[in-house]
Each structure stands twice: as structure tokens, then as C-alpha cells.
């Protein structure tokens, strides 16, 4: 009898141990337990620590309450200014209601991932390329609101959304590089022009000061020569006065144009023979035209004729007039016949 009692006690103890082993559960600190008894939610969510369930009747689901980092695959889309880009992002979320995370959605991780991808495509189509590159904080806030709205009913809270990378086509990268280079060059030219303006003002003040004291220009010249000589160069550069250059330029300018040479006088025609066959008297020195003979020229010609006649030994005898020559010449046969 006693043996039967002991056997029953041992059997009950073993059954109790098996039941306890099947019913005992441990919920970690970062987890919450959701118990479904015969398929229905049983009471409150189990807190961290040791807990018991009914074996073969209750089923315990552990939900992680930590912040989950979920990467969003790169999504390709067209921006509002018709530029094709690929954008990937990262979503940080956590479960705030373990019961809804188990009951309201089948797989809250997969649901959040798909919602993040669709929201990212939508935000790409509504934004410009400049916003994606420079105004990411505003886009992150808009993307967070788009994902968080449906996730509230799933017991999930979106903590943060960050756009990680924006991939551009190679042609767009080259265009943006040229734009940035042109902008840098424009800024460099503006800075250089501003520096030239300030330097010109200072140079004008220095020139005014040197004009008041001419010795300052000579001192400046000596300083320049000293600075060049210290470099041990074989070539010495000295400033050249601008006034001297202007003087040389005026000296090289051509004078007034000379009048064109007069046309040569026509050659005199040879004298025609007279009726009796004799040649007319031709002076040794042709008489110049009255318009072209000046008193000085006439006096010089007369002196030359006189000197020539005296050199020959007697005064110059003019040739007889045509009538006198005709009278002095012997009469021809026809004239003799008429006289007879």
C-alpha cells in the first residue's frame, strides 16, 4: 500500500515537473510577451522575466522592443525636373505596442520595408534634383511622415529616416562639374576685379603723392633697381619715361605732303625751211618763255652770253635777218632770167 502511494507521488511529481518545464517561459528585458490562448489574445502583455503559460493551450510570441535599423534598397526614379536618379535610405523604427505588432500585421518588418520603398519613390518624384542634393533634412521629415502614418496602426513608431546616397548619371555629373567650375571661375574673377579696383585706388593715391613730391619717384626707381639687382640677374630692367616715348612718336609723324612735280615742257619743233630753201635763224641758246623767265634768270643768261662772246675773241654777231640773207645770197637761174 505504501509502495503504491509512493509510486503515485513520484508519478505526480514527474508530471508536475514536465508540466512546469512545458509552461515555464523567460521573457528578456528588451522583449515583450504576447500570449494567445486558443487563438485569442489572453490578457495583458507579459513583462520581462519568468512567466508561465498553459502548455498545449497558450502560445507565447516574443516581440523585440529595440530600435531596428532597416536599410531600404536603392530605388530608381525620375525627379520633378526630369533627372533619373537612384536613391537609397535607412529607416530607424521600434515597436511600441507588442499586441498590435503581432495581431494587426503579419510581418511588421516586411510591411515597414515595403512602405519605406514606396514612400521613397513618391518623394523622389515630388522633389527636384537640387532638393535631393542639398535639402535632405526636409525630405527626410516628409519621408518619415509618409511611413509613420500607416505604421501607427501596426504598433510601430518610426524614429528616424535618412536618405543615404543619391546616384546620378555620368552625364549629369559632368554637367554639374562644369557648372561648379564655371561658378568658381566667376567668383575668382570677381575677387580679382575687386582686388584690382582697390589696388588702382591705392596706386592713384601714391601717384598723387609722388606728383606733389617729385623726388619720391626717383627714390622709387632706385628701390626697383635695388630689388632687381638682389636677385643676381644678368638683365636689368629700368623704367622708361612715357613723355619721351610721346616725343619720339610726334617726331616720327610725316610732314605736309609735297606738291606733285610739274609736267615737262614740250620739246620745240624744228624750224621749217624758208621758201627759197634757206634755214631760218636759230639762236644758240633758246629763249625761255616770258612767264617762266625771272629778272635774275634773264640777267644770268645775259652775263653768260657776254662771257662766251668775249672768250671767242669778239662780240657775238647775230645772224642776218631772213630778208637780208635773201638779198646777200646769189640769185638763182630763175631770178637772173627775170632780171634779163
**pTM here?**
0.52
Q: Which residue has 515537473 as its cell numbers?
A: 17
Total residues belonging to the chain: 340
* Dist. CA 197–CA 122, nearest whole Å: 51
Residue 337 — pLDDT band, cuts 50, 70, 90?
A: very low
Give every strand in the sheet of 31-37, ordered side by side.
40-41, 31-37, 58-64
CB atoms under 10 Å from CB of 97, counted, come to 20
Task: Give me the pLDDT at residue 305, please.
Answer: 72
C-alpha cell at 66: 529595440
Whether residue 229 is predicted with pLDDT greater than 90 in this model: the reply is: no
- The pLDDT tens digits for 263-312 are 555 555 555 655 555 555 555 544 444 444 455 566 667 777 776 665 54
CB atoms under 10 Å from CB of 54, counted, come to 14
Q: Decide: 272 and 280 in contact? Cβ < 8 Å.
A: yes
* Dist. CA 235–CA 229, nearest whole Å: 9
Task: Give me the pLDDT at residue 193, please.
Answer: 94
Task: Give me the pLDDT at residue 138, please.
Answer: 87
Four-point Cα dihedral 299, 301, 303, 305, nearest 10? -150
Give the residue, 335 or 50, on which the prediction is more confident: 50
- The pLDDT tens digits for 45-85 are 888 888 888 888 888 889 999 999 999 999 898 888 888 89
Task: Give me the pLDDT at residue 172, please.
Answer: 86
Pick the closest to residue 186 from 261, 194, 119, 31 (CA basis). 194
Share of the chain above pLDDT 70, in %: 71
Task: Give me the pLDDT at residue 318, please.
Answer: 46
Max CA-CA distance within the chain? 229
Whether residue 140 is predicted with pLDDT greater than 80 in this model: the reply is: yes
Q: Average pLDDT for residues 137-161, to the nearest whole number?
A: 89
* Strand bridging mode 31-37 / 58-64: antiparallel
Over its C-alpha atoms, the chain yields an Rg (Å, rounded) of 64
Average model confidence (pLDDT) across the chain: 77
Task: Give me the pLDDT at residue 317, please.
Answer: 45
C-alpha cell at 304: 653768260
Contacts of 144 (CB under 8 A, 6+ apart): 158, 160, 161
Q: Average pLDDT for residues 114-143, to the nearest whole number?
A: 88
* Dist. CA 55–CA 37, nearest whole Å: 10
Q: Average pLDDT for residues 187-213, to the nearest whole number?
A: 89
Whether residue 139 is predicted with pLDDT greater than 50 in this model: the reply is: yes
Amino acid at each position: 500500500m505504501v509502495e503504491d502511494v509512493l509510486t503515485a507521488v513520484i508519478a505526480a511529481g514527474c508530471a508536475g515537473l514536465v508540466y512546469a518545464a512545458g509552461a515555464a517561459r523567460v521573457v528578456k528585458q528588451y522583449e515583450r510577451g504576447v500570449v494567445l490562448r486558443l487563438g485569442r489574445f489572453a490578457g495583458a502583455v507579459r513583462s520581462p522575466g519568468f512567466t508561465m503559460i498553459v502548455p498545449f493551450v497558450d502560445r507565447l510570441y516574443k516581440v523585440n522592443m529595440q530600435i531596428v535599423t532597416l536599410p531600404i534598397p536603392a530605388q530608381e526614379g525620375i525627379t520633378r525636373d526630369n533627372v533619373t536618379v537612384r536613391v537609397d535610405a535607412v529607416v530607424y523604427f521600434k515597436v511600441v505596442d507588442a499586441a498590435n505588432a503581432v495581431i494587426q500585421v503579419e510581418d511588421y518588418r516586411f510591411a515597414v520595408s515595403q512602405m519605406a520603398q514606396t514612400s521613397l519613390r513618391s518623394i523622389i518624384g515630388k522633389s527636384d534634383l537640387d532638393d535631393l542634393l542639398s535639402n535632405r533634412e526636409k525630405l527626410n521629415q516628409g519621408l518619415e511622415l509618409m511611413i509613420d502614418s500607416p505604421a501607427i496602426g501596426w504598433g510601430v513608431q518610426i524614429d528616424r529616416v535618412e536618405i543615404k546616397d543619391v546616384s546620378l548619371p555620368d552625364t549629369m555629373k559632368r554637367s554639374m562639374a562644369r557648372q561648379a567650375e564655371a561658378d568658381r571661375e566667376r567668383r575668382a574673377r570677381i575677387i580679382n576685379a575687386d582686388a584690382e579696383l582697390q589696388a588702382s585706388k591705392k596706386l592713384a593715391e601714391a601717384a598723387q603723392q609722388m606728383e606733389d613730391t617729385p623726388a619720391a619717384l626717383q627714390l622709387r626707381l632706385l628701390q626697383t633697381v635695388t630689388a632687381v639687382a638682389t636677385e643676381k640677374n644678368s638683365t636689368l630692367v629700368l623704367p622708361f619715361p612715357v613723355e619721351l616715348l610721346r616725343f619720339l612718336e610726334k617726331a616720327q609723324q610725316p610732314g605736309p605732303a609735297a606738291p606733285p612735280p610739274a609736267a615737262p615742257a614740250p620739246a620745240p619743233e624744228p624750224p621749217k625751211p624758208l621758201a627759197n630753201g634757206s634755214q631760218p635763224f636759230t639762236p644758240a641758246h633758246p629763249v625761255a618763255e616770258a612767264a617762266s623767265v625771272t629778272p635774275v634768270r634773264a640777267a644770268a643768261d645775259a652775263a653768260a652770253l657776254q662771257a662766251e662772246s668775249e672768250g671767242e675773241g669778239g662780240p657775238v654777231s647775230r645772224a642776218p635777218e631772213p630778208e637780208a640773207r635773201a638779198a646777200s645770197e646769189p640769185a638763182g637761174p630763175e631770178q637772173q632770167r627775170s632780171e634779163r
